[in-house]
């Protein structure tokens, strides 16, 4: 690797998710680290993929994605948010949200540009900003409510700022940005003529409040690249069917890069996700209700085990502080946890530039069966807390 990338990808030689999942496999521990469900999504969706394979949808699909899926994505944005996108030139299918993010940053940033993002940040934001030759400027979300200082955000925007990258609902904190916060972000984007790239993969996992796409705010429709995927919503994270919705010129730029990253992806799975997106509101309600039960179960269990728990309003992650155990280093804690009690978690510090802000924070996922969560909690309860 070049020195340039090595310096900017410090800490990302292996993603924390790969490292922690490998640790879980090696030790046989319960994996509450990497966020993937332990039960597949609806059989009907799996059957649609199998039917698509049997029907011969196995060669390169169109570069922008099959029409059925592009229409289903546009209809989804209209149904849930009242956002109208033309499936012909305002929707692009990508290899997961991951490729949508990578292609957007590569297409829209020049070397020397700055990208504003909140920390903790999802690891690929830092990596793809570096790949684009751009520089990240981070604004810290601070516990206990993961709010940010408006002045810090304003100060992070300079005359080099090209775009702002937003993730809501937010991984790893579970924060759902409020309308007031989004209004401030939108106002700054308009004022400084910034492009917004939004990662909304947890859009259907909001327990408290509501998911408001940034693109719905005044002045944002045509300057926002909205990204999501079917992985989380339909519990098929390995299929990697994602999408980008934006104004035609932005989609054209992202598509230009996408065609040289993967060209196309997942032909039969595109058919299956197109079908899944047409599910009625009941499906989406049941999905979030089920996950809320799991959130409550894990949050209660972690609290009982002694963790300081920051209850998430969205996503399928909960962040905790390990200080009650007399420990301050989340990375050391997570590397030892399988040995100590047979559970794997993720140290949030890897998602921070300001390591002090994230040192004692540890993330657990609750997208697992209730009996698995109960077993994990039982094991975590063997950890000894210290008197405050
Ligand atoms: N963004 C965030 C915030 C995520 O947590 C993930 C993990 N699924 C992704 C993007 C990647 O999504 P996909 O699997 O669709 O590439
Ligand atoms: N998004 C998942 C998480 O945060 C992991 C995806 C990955 O392994 N890159 O756990």
Q: What is the pLDDT of residues 214-256, one digit of tens each?
A: 999 999 999 999 999 999 999 999 999 999 999 999 999 999 9
How would residue 113 be classed by pLDDT, with cut points 50, 70 and 90?
very high
Residue 95: closest CA among 262, 260, 236: 262
State in Å: Cα 129 to ligand 1 middle.
Answer: 16
Q: How far apart are CA 282 and CA 250, in angstroms?
A: 33
253: three-class secondary structure by DSSP: helix
DSSP 298-367: HHHHHHHHT-EEE--SBSSEEEEE-GGGT---HHHHHHHHHHHHSEE-EEGGGG-SSHHHHTTEEEEE--
State in Å: Cα 97 to ligand 1 middle.
Answer: 6
Contacts of 159 (CB under 8 A, 6+ apart): none
State in Å: Cα 183 to ligand 2 middle.
Answer: 28
Residue 7 clears pLDDT 80, i.e. is over it: no
| The model's pTM | 0.97
Counting from 1 in the atom list of ligand 1, the atom nearest the Cα of 101 is 10
Mutate to test the pocket of ligand 1, among 126, 171, 176, 276 (most ligand atoms within 8 A of CB): 171
Backbone φ, ψ for residue 90 (5° rounding): -125, 10
Residue 244: closest CA among 70, 106, 109, 122: 70
Q: Which ligand has the shortest distance to the CA of 244?
A: 1
How would residue 281 be classed by pLDDT, with cut points 50, 70 and 90?
very high
Counting from 1 in the atom list of ligand 2, the atom nearest the Cα of 18 is 8
How would residue 12 be classed by pLDDT, with cut points 50, 70 and 90?
confident
State in Å: Cα 131 to ligand 1 middle.
Answer: 18
Q: What is the pLDDT of residue 5?
A: 76
Q: What is the pLDDT of residue 229?
A: 98
Q: Which ligand has the shortest distance to the CA of 350?
A: 2
Counting from 1 in the atom list of ligand 2, the atom nearest the Cα of 201 is 1
State in Å: Cα 218 to ligand 2 middle.
Answer: 32
> What token pair was written down for 14?
């292996």
Q: What is the pLDDT of residues 166-180, one digit of tens each?
A: 999 999 999 999 999
**89 within 8 A of 137, measured Cβ to Cβ:** no
**167 within 8 A of 146, measured Cβ to Cβ:** no
Q: What is the pLDDT of residue 90?
A: 98
- Cβ burial of 155 (10 Å; 0-12, 13-18, 19+) is exposed
Counting from 1 in the atom list of ligand 1, the atom nearest the Cα of 199 is 1
Mutate to test the pocket of ligand 2, among 16, 23, 25, 34 (most ligand atoms within 8 A of CB): 34
State in Å: Cα 333 to ligand 2 middle.
Answer: 20
Q: What is the pLDDT of residues 49-59, one digit of tens each?
A: 999 999 999 99
388: three-class secondary structure by DSSP: coil
In the chain, DSSP finds a helix count (H) and a strand count (E) of 15, 13
Q: How far apart are CA 344 and CA 14, in angstroms?
A: 17
Residue nearest to atom 3 of ligand 2 (CA): 35
Counting from 1 in the atom list of ligand 2, the atom nearest the Cα of 34 is 10
């Amino acid at each position: 690797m070049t020195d340039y990338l090595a310096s900017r990808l410090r800490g990302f030689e292996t993603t924390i998710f790969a490292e922690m999942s490998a640790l879980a496999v090696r030790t046989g521990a319960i994996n509450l680290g990497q966020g993937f469900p332990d039960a597949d999504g609806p059989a009907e969706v799996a059957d649609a993929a199998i039917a698509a394979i049997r029907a011969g949808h196995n060669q390169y699909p169109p570069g922008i994605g099959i029409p059925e899926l592009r229409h289903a994505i546009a209809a989804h944005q209209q149904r849930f948010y009242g956002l109208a996108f033309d499936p012909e030139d305002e929707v692009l299918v990508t290899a997961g949200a991951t490729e949508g993010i990578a292609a957007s940053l590569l297409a829209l940033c020049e070397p020397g540009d700055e990208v504003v993002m909140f920390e903790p940040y999802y690891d690929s934001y830092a990596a793809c900003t570096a790949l684009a030759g751009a520089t990240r400027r981070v604004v810290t979300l601070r516990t206990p409510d993961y709010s940010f200082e408006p002045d810090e955000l304003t100060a992070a925007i300079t005359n080099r700022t090209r775009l702002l990258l937003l993730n809501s609902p937010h991984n790893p904190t579970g924060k759902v940005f409020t309308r007031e916060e989004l209004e401030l972000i939108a106002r700054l984007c308009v004022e400084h003529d910034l492009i917004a790239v939004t990662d909304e993969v947890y859009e259907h996992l909001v327990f408290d409040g509501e998911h408001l796409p940034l693109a719905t705010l005044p002045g944002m429709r045509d300057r926002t690249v909205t990204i999501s995927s079917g992985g989380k919503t339909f519990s098929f994270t390995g299929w990697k069917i994602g999408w980008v919705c934006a104004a035609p010129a932005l989609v054209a730029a992202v598509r230009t890069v996408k065609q040289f990253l993967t060209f196309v992806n997942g032909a039969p799975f595109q058919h299956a996700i197109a079908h899944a997106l047409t599910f009625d509101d009941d499906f989406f309600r049941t999905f979030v209700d089920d996950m809320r039960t799991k959130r409550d179960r894990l949050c209660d269990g972690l609290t009982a085990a002694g963790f300081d728990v920051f209850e998430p309003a969205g996503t399928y992650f909960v962040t905790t502080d390990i200080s009650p155990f007399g420990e301050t280093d989340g990375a050391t804690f997570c590397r030892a946890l399988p040995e100590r009690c047979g559970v794997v978690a993720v140290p949030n510090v890897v998602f921070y530039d300001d390591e002090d802000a994230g040192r004692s924070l540890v993330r657990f996922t609750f997208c697992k069966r209730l009996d698995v969560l109960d077993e994990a909690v039982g094991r975590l309860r063997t950890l000894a807390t210290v008197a405050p």
